[in-house]
Structure 1
Amino acid sequence: MLMRCLIFIFVSLLLGQAQAGVKVDEQLRLQELNSASQQRIDQLEQQRQAAAEQSQALLQQAQLLEQYNQHLSAMTAQQNQQSTQLEQDLQELQYSQQLALPMVHQLLSQLQNFVASDLPFLSQERQQRLTRLASLLDRADVSLAEKYRQVLEAYQIEMEYGETIEAYSGALNQQQVNYFRLGRTALYYQSLNGQSSALWQADQQTWLALDDAANRELSQAIAIAWQEQQAPALLLLPLPAAKEASDE
């Protein structure tokens, strides 16, 4: 009887230990499952955060791209407007040039007529200037503004002739003489030996010989204007008759 009791107790202890071992194994498996689940949850959370950050970055890029597109559209519209305005300005400029270029040609033609009817001083120099201007106006590589400037410059030179006196050497009937210009009022010449001189008569298109007194005055005038040997003085030179009076 005692033996049976001992066997029963021993068997009970063995069963209890077996059941306790089973519970420990189950707890270990549960802990492993919980740990794996937590790791998976952590990985999913990291992936979610990464996806959220990427989504936010893409959204910001989309916003920046939209702003850039709007800015680009505004720039394109402004450039189109400027291009249209530039085309209009070019058309107006071309029209202005079509009007202005004939005016410059007319200015040169008037200057040519004026020089042709003026006193015949510095004829070669003045004619070369007019010829150069005529050639300049026909050049396509020179701007209208430059053409206009040079024509006005020629006008300025001609205007200055009327405010100055000048002496220079030049040819007359195949001989060298000294010329004296009194503004553009009178033109004289004197032989190199100083023995003879004359005054240009515009109405008759010829030279009028001067007497001895006028010839001496002319010598003094040439010395003042050309050689600068004497100080300016009052010149008692004869003047040509007014052309308007002769026409009447």
Structure 2
Amino acid sequence: MFFGQRRLGESLRCLGLNFLFPVGSRMKNVQVSRLSMLLVGLSLTVMTVSPGATVINDIFKVAEQINAQAKISQVKIDATTEQTRELYADYKVVLKEIEGLQVYNRQLERQIAVQEREMRELAASIDRVTEVERQVMPLMLRMIEGIDQFVGLDIPFRIDERRERIERLRTIMDRADVAVSEKFSQVLGAYQIENEYGRTLEAYSDTITLNGSDIIVDLLKVGRVALVWQSKDREITGWWNRQSKRYEEIDESDYATSVSRGIKMARKQLTAGLFAVPVIAPES
């Protein structure tokens, strides 16, 4: 037995392998260097040394297991390496996204700061507008009252139309859905219309009260200088007497022709020219 083990050990040393075989009461070290040539050594000794062959078979099995585990480990290592590479690439992408988001956030912070400043300025402007509105509203109400009083003291041309305009202004003042600027514009518009009346020549038909009776006549407004009228048949001519504040007939027949000419001029039926109207001389 010892001789066979010695032969096997020598064969294994020739192959470059290290292995321990029992020799008597001691263990002898056998060097095995090249595992790939183990099969050759085994083939030389398997027929002569039965116990040594069993050990070599065990070595083969262990070597095969080691190789299999090494392959599995290498596959895992390769997979881990690829996964690590992909994760690193993703990490670089995320870093770029974070950098872009940081730039975007800084821009948003600047925009928000500008908007907050504009909001503060707007709030201050609203406060000023509110203060102006508190001052403008009483002013507009006084202006409307002024127009109303002026119309009441003025010659009564288109009186219904003018009073309706004043009532519309009062209605607008009470509406919350109309801006103060629009209200003020409407009041100024009414003043402009009243101002234009003083520079226009206008003829229109209307009903007046004469001596307690209502008659339809043609009225001729000459600015705010005079308001004269003629019946439809041109038989009666009259005027608005500022002193008595009523419509009266004119006795002088000369005014009939002049008023008729003025009515035609106002209606563009006659070329503009001169015509006479009765006026009250100013008091000395």
Pick the TM interval, shorter chain: 0.7 to 0.9
Describe how 1:90-169 pairs up with structure 2 within 5 A: 90-169=126-205
Q: Report runs of 4+ in structure 1 exceeding 6 Å deviation.
A: 30-34
How far the C-alpha of 1:103 sits from its partner, in A, is 2.1
Relative distance call for 1:187 and 1:52 in structure 2 (3 A) is same
For the aligned residue pairs, the C-alpha RMSD in angstroms reads: 3.4
How far the C-alpha of 1:145 sits from its partner, in A, is 1.8
Question: Size of the alignment, in residue pairs?
Answer: 233
Distance 2:222 2:251 in 1: 16
Alignment of 1:218 onto 2:279: no
User: Structure 1 counterpart of 2:257, which letter?
Assistant: R
Look up the match of 1:172.
209
Does the 8 A contact of 1:167 with 1:181 survive in 2?
Answer: yes
Relative distance call for 1:42 and 1:140 in structure 2 (3 A) is closer
How far the C-alpha of 1:38 sits from its partner, in A, is 4.8
Per-residue CA deviations over 1:97-148 (Å, capped at 9, x if unaligned) read 1122222222222222222221121112211111221222222221112212
Distance 1:239 1:114 in 2: 22
- Structure 2, unmatched stretches of 5+, are 12-37, 43-55
Relative distance call for 1:149 and 1:39 in structure 2 (3 A) is same
Distance 2:73 2:244 in 1: 128
Does the 8 A contact of 1:180 with 1:187 survive in 2?
Answer: yes
How far the C-alpha of 1:217 sits from its partner, in A, is 1.6
User: Structure 2 counterpart of 1:97, which letter?
Assistant: E
TM-score, normalised to structure 1, is 0.75
How far the C-alpha of 1:164 sits from its partner, in A, is 1.9
Distance 2:150 2:199 in 1: 17
Structure 1 or 2, whichever has the larger Rg, is: 2
* Overall identity of the aligned pairs, in %: 27
Relative distance call for 1:120 and 1:44 in structure 2 (3 A) is closer
Match of 2:41 among 20, 24, 30: 20
Match of 1:196 among 236, 259, 267: 236
Does the 8 A contact of 1:200 with 1:240 survive in 2?
Answer: no
Does the 8 A contact of 2:147 with 2:191 survive in 1?
Answer: yes
Relative distance call for 1:232 and 1:75 in structure 2 (3 A) is closer
| DSSP 3-state at the match of 2:125 | helix
Relative distance call for 1:238 and 1:63 in structure 2 (3 A) is closer
Distance 1:102 1:175 in 2: 40
Look up the match of 1:60.
96
How far the C-alpha of 1:12 sits from its partner, in A, is 6.5
Match of 2:279 among 240, 243, 248: 240
Describe how 1:18-97 pairs up with structure 2 within 5 A: 20-21=41-42, 38-39=74-75, 41-97=77-133
Does the 8 A contact of 1:136 with 1:142 survive in 2?
Answer: yes
TM-score, normalised to structure 2, is 0.67
User: Structure 2 counterpart of 1:183, which letter?
Assistant: G
How far the C-alpha of 1:204 sits from its partner, in A, is 4.3
| DSSP 3-state at the match of 2:150 | helix
Does the 8 A contact of 1:196 with 1:210 survive in 2?
Answer: no
Moved more, 37-46 or 104-113: 37-46
Moved more, 73-82 or 30-39: 30-39
Moved more, 36-45 or 216-225: 36-45
Larger helix share, 1 or 2: 1
Distance 1:231 1:83 in 2: 62
